[in-house]
């Protein structure tokens, strides 16, 4: 499969040889969007090697400009915890490749692929397609609006650019934080899945999701802050330090990768206390800043929590949605 527009060419993935070029295009797009986070070849390799409900031959394209990789598109579907089904697409294109024609080529492919996937699925059939872009890509915004897509939500990358003045917050009564090891990681995963089960668009966890979590080379359970109530995990924070990324960026930054509270322990201040403790733990390991991502439509007031402990919005992602067309579309 090859599609072209003046200067831009879409082709199939050639892995793993394409990974460095795809990583650079992604990183250039991040910089343009003002995202503090970086991506490494290892990150992208791990993502592509654990794809769920995505055929790399049909559902992934590489975008080249004058023979140089400058972006990609990917489409996939997931079954949701609430019984629904969602079809999702991402289009990444570096700022130096953004022309109206290039945007139309990449996102036109994505639109058609999402439609084909959605029409091929039954029991249940998804009602709409979702796609995501960063808000600095004005040409992409114009393209989506002109074709009847609706911006339905925003997600944010939030930064705490200093780990000084971290509040010390007490845990709710009967709870305590205990060390965990690699042997506890599978149990922590199960608790994390339970804690996120009621989040918006939350997909059913698959074995590939579990393996991606357990096999992540930058996971260090000694960084995690996990609260117990007796023998039960009540909630936790998965912190990450990526030495490769920090070496490339010159930062000493940690990630508050996931914050979860299981339903029976909510509305008691547990998450806020655990996030504060996680920042202190990152500081103890020599980090000077922390980063996290959050859905702006999070039902548990996560934005307020993170702002209360000193995080500020650094970059904004737009979620677009459109209903599927009536009738059959070839897969």
pLDDT, tens digit, 9 for 90 and up, residues 304-320: 999 999 999 999 999 99
Q: What are phi and psi of 125, to 5 degrees?
A: -95, 130
Pairing of strands 8-11, 60-65: antiparallel
Residue 298 covered by a domain: no
Confidence (pTM): 0.90
* Same-domain pairing of 133 and 266: no
Domain that holds residue 142: 3-156+318-323
Residue 77 covered by a domain: yes
Check whether 329 has a pLDDT greater than 50: no
* Same-domain pairing of 169 and 241: yes
* Same-domain pairing of 118 and 14: yes
Residue 305 covered by a domain: no
CB-based burial, 262-274: b 16+ in 10 Å, e otherwise: beebeebebbbbb
Cis before 124 (ω within 30): yes
Q: Taking residues 289-318, what's their average pLDDT?
A: 91
pLDDT on residue 297: 81
CATH number at 134 reads 3.40.630.30
Q: Any idea which of 121-135, 198-212, 221-235 has the lowest mean pLDDT? A: 198-212
* Same-domain pairing of 84 and 172: no
Q: For 178-188, how does the pLDDT look when each residue is reduced to its tens digit (9 = 90+)?
A: 999 999 999 99
* Same-domain pairing of 89 and 141: yes
Domain count, the chain: 2
Supply the DSSP symbol for 171. Answer: P
* Same-domain pairing of 246 and 118: no
Residue 275 covered by a domain: yes
Residue 59 covered by a domain: yes
CB-CB neighbours of 181 under 10 Å: 9
* Same-domain pairing of 128 and 87: yes
* Same-domain pairing of 9 and 149: yes
Q: For 51-83, how does the pLDDT look when each residue is reduced to its tens digit (9 = 90+)?
A: 999 999 999 999 999 999 999 999 999 999 988
Residue 173 covered by a domain: yes
Q: For 208-242, how does the pLDDT look when each residue is reduced to its tens digit (9 = 90+)?
A: 899 999 989 999 999 999 999 999 999 999 999 99
């Amino acid at each position: 499969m090859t599609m072209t527009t003046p200067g831009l060419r879409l082709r199939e993935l050639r892995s793993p040889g394409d990974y460095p070029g795809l990583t650079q295009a992604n990183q250039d797009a991040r910089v343009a969007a003002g995202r503090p986070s970086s991506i490494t070849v290892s990150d992208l390799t791990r993502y592509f090697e654990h794809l769920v409900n995505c055929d790399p031959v049909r559902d992934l394209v590489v975008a080249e400009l004058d023979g140089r990789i400058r972006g990609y598109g990917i489409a996939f579907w997931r079954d949701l915890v609430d019984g629904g089904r969602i079809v999702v697409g991402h289009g990444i294109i570096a700022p130096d490749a953004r022309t109206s024609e290039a945007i139309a080529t990449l996102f036109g492919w994505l639109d058609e692929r999402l439609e084909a996937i959605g029409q091929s699925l039954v029991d249940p059939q998804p009602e709409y397609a979702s796609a995501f872009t960063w808000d600095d890509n004005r040409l992409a915004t114009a393209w989506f609006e002109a074709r009847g897509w609706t911006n339905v939500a925003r997600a944010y990358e939030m930064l705490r650019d200093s780990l000084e003045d971290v509040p010390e917050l007490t845990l709710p009564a009967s709870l305590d934080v205990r060390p965990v090891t690699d042997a506890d990681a599978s149990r922590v995963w199960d608790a994390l899945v339970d804690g996120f089960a009621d989040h918006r668009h939350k997909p059913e966890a698959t074995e590939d999701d579990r393996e991606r979590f357990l096999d992540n080379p930058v996971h260090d359970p000694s960084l995690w802050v996990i609260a117990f109530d007796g023998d039960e995990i009540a909630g936790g924070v998965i912190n990450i330090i990526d030495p490769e990324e920090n070496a490339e960026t010159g930062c000493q930054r940690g990630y508050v990768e996931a914050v979860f509270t299981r339903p029976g322990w909510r509305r008691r201040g547990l998450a806020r206390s655990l996030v504060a403790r996680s920042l202190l733990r990152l500081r103890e390991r020599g980090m000077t800043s922390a980063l996290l991502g959050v859905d702006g439509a999070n039902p548990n007031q996560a934005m307020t929590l993170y702002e209360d402990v000193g995080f500020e919005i650094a970059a904004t992602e737009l979620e677009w949605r459109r209903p599927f067309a009536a009738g059959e579309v070839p897969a």
